[in-house]
A and B are shown apart, each in its own frame.
Chain A
């Protein structure tokens, strides 16, 4: 037995190392430095930048359920769309205050997440995948049919979004950029706290071995429903941001394309790392832009090809690739 040889000092060192894991690493400042820097470097692209930031938030919310809880979904746009329509309808019917609009949108999306999650999370695997798709499709068709409320296929216009904290949304997207950036930052703090909390670690446990989580007395269903609800609320914020900053909501916010694209973005960046969306979303958008220029009709084919190559040759996305590269360099340096 080696038990007696471990000194109290060694024990304290191990426990210290273990309990320091959640401390901030300097590299975690990079996305925020880039975000602020981009504002000054690309003043002509701030409107696009705001969209990118909101989409990163959407990807971050997906990472919570896919990367941490291991719930594969093809219907995450259901919550994004719910948030977008709720924020849009509020602004179109006399309540244009953006921050309360954001909160109401988050609550509505979380409610949809809770109710649909209570049903779909009782299933697993392919059934779960299909049911998430069904929920999003049902909402899409409901929004499509409810033309008097949502504007149907024409989209919801006539939104009057009031200034945020006294700053009027401008044509250049300056205010929109900071507004989306602030929402992303706040949500990132929430997400980061969650994944490092015992609750977040138990989600990782469920992903790693659900059977064992049952066997250690963890209420697996409720844990999954809780994170599904939180992620839905966060996706709702992302949808609301897009609605408020563009003053328009189209059916596309609920579409399968939207659910699929965010999944691809996250896979490109790296799943289950909290930062996958920060790399994956810009990467996807750049690729989309480049491919559409070269091949306006079939650009989606090239995105698909890249996705296949990533899954086969760089599992773990850009982050996984960087990990392996660093490990190889370190080994060579030794």
Chain B
């Protein structure tokens, strides 16, 4: 069996009597396009927070490319290539688009703590950040504060910041959330064009997006994995239909 890009074994977490993550075994293959779906409150975001280190699990292990990262701080996991985006856009709103990405690129190069030289003197870092903006088609707004951008474009900046960290595993938390459907096409295209070397896990509500992008789907319910498989199997699975019935239209 080849080494997983990301793997969890028996991952569990409780808030008092409430089990928000229940013995989750999960595997993300190298280069995967994998979706994690489930009704509201299924524990998808908790899972992301556990994997990235924002929360500490009460039991279980998290492996990144074969290394145990369960006890590592959030920042150290990022340094090893485990990167996430946020469901609710989490950017530096008052700063320019270019600076948002420059901060991320600078941290990756280990110059984020430099006090001696002006940040503007690191042209290589800035040029790299700018090239990313070009790739995502938002270079024309490089010098505008993020808060002035349309929401759909802010979602692209959200992805640009993550890509600035050169991820090996990328967790996209509802990348198209809140974006009008006319614009969500750009975001889907963007995700489709991500390098195949990046293993991508998409946490999503939007079934169109999931079935268009994912080659494997995991369904979570009440903090546990209900079923996992390729899209056709998931779409046909009666248990999945049952879970989603009443919650939303079956996909």
Pick the residue among A201, A215, A222, A223 that contacts B86 (CB under 8 A): A215
Q: Which of B86, B118, B136 has the most CB of A within 10 A?
A: B118
Q: Is A208 in the interface zone, CB < 8 Å from B?
A: yes
| Chain A nearest CB, measured from B176 CB (Å) | 17
> Contact at A215–B78, with CB atoms within 8 Å?
yes
> Contact at A212–B126, with CB atoms within 8 Å?
no
B contacts with A, residue count (CB < 8 A): 53
> Contact at B54–A198, with CB atoms within 8 Å?
no
> Contact at A215–B90, with CB atoms within 8 Å?
yes
Pick the residue among A3, A14, A22, A212 that contacts B120 (CB under 8 A): A22
Q: What separation, in Å, do the CA atoms of A61 and B88 have in the docked complex?
A: 34
> Contact at A3–B143, with CB atoms within 8 Å?
no
| Chain B nearest CB, measured from A176 CB (Å) | 30
> Contact at A19–B92, with CB atoms within 8 Å?
no
> Contact at B140–A6, with CB atoms within 8 Å?
yes
B interface, CB within 8 angstroms of A: 52, 54, 74-79, 83-84, 86, 90-96, 98-99, 102-104, 106-108, 111-123, 126-127, 130, 134-137, 139-140, 142-143, 161, 164-165
Please, which residues of chain B bring their CB within 8 A of the CB of A199?
A: 112-115
Contact of A216 with B107 at beta-carbon distance under 8 Å, contacts A14-B98, A197-B119, A202-B112 already known: yes
| Chain A nearest CB, measured from B73 CB (Å) | 8
> Contact at B74–A22, with CB atoms within 8 Å?
no
> Contact at A214–B93, with CB atoms within 8 Å?
no
> Contact at B118–A217, with CB atoms within 8 Å?
no
> Contact at B92–A212, with CB atoms within 8 Å?
yes
> Contact at A198–B78, with CB atoms within 8 Å?
no
Q: What separation, in Å, do the CA atoms of A161 and B234 have in the docked complex?
A: 82
Please, which residues of chain A bring their CB within 8 A of the CB of B78?
A: 215-217
Q: What separation, in Å, do the CA atoms of A3 and B186 have in the docked complex?
A: 13
Q: What separation, in Å, do the CA atoms of A213 and B117 have in the docked complex?
A: 21
Contact of A208 with B95 at beta-carbon distance under 8 Å, contacts A193-B118, A216-B103 already known: yes
Contact of A216 with B140 at beta-carbon distance under 8 Å, contacts A3-B135, A11-B130, A211-B90 already known: no
| Chain A nearest CB, measured from B64 CB (Å) | 13
Q: Is A18 in the interface zone, CB < 8 Å from B?
A: yes
Pick the residue among B75, B115, B117, B121 that contacts A217 (CB under 8 A): B75
Pick the residue among A3, A194, A204, A216 that contacts B165 (CB under 8 A): A216
Q: Is A31 in the interface zone, CB < 8 Å from B?
A: no
> Contact at B90–A218, with CB atoms within 8 Å?
no
A contacts with B, residue count (CB < 8 A): 40
Contact of A194 with B115 at beta-carbon distance under 8 Å, contacts A2-B139, A3-B137, A18-B98 already known: yes
A interface, CB within 8 angstroms of B: 1-3, 6, 10-11, 14-15, 17-22, 193-194, 196-202, 204-205, 208-209, 211-220, 222-223, 226
Please, which residues of chain A bring their CB within 8 A of the CB of B161?
A: 212, 216
Among residues of A, the one whose C-beta sits closest to the C-beta of B109 is: A198
| Chain A nearest CB, measured from B201 CB (Å) | 15
A-B contact pairs, 20 of them (CB 8 A): A10-B139, A14-B98, A15-B123, A17-B143, A18-B120, A18-B143, A20-B120, A21-B120, A22-B120, A194-B115, A197-B119, A199-B115, A200-B115, A200-B119, A204-B92, A209-B92, A211-B54, A214-B54, A217-B76, A217-B107
Q: What separation, in Å, do the CA atoms of A22 and B121 have in the docked complex?
A: 9
> Contact at A215–B74, with CB atoms within 8 Å?
yes
> Contact at A197–B92, with CB atoms within 8 Å?
no
| Chain A nearest CB, measured from B88 CB (Å) | 10
> Contact at B113–A198, with CB atoms within 8 Å?
yes
Please, which residues of chain A bring their CB within 8 A of the CB of B108?
A: 216-217
| Chain A nearest CB, measured from B9 CB (Å) | 24
Q: What separation, in Å, do the CA atoms of A237 and B91 have in the docked complex?
A: 36
> Contact at A212–B112, with CB atoms within 8 Å?
no
Please, which residues of chain B bring their CB within 8 A of the CB of A17?
A: 143
| Chain A nearest CB, measured from B147 CB (Å) | 10
> Contact at A204–B95, with CB atoms within 8 Å?
yes
> Contact at A22–B134, with CB atoms within 8 Å?
no
> Contact at A193–B115, with CB atoms within 8 Å?
yes
Contact of A14 with B107 at beta-carbon distance under 8 Å, contacts A20-B120, A197-B118, A217-B78 already known: no
Q: Which of B83, B108, B113, B127 has the most CB of A within 10 A?
A: B113
Please, which residues of chain B bring their CB within 8 A of the CB of A18?
A: 96, 98-99, 102, 120, 126, 142-143
Among residues of B, the one whose C-beta sits closest to the C-beta of A214 is: B74
Q: What separation, in Å, do the CA atoms of A223 and B103 have in the docked complex?
A: 14
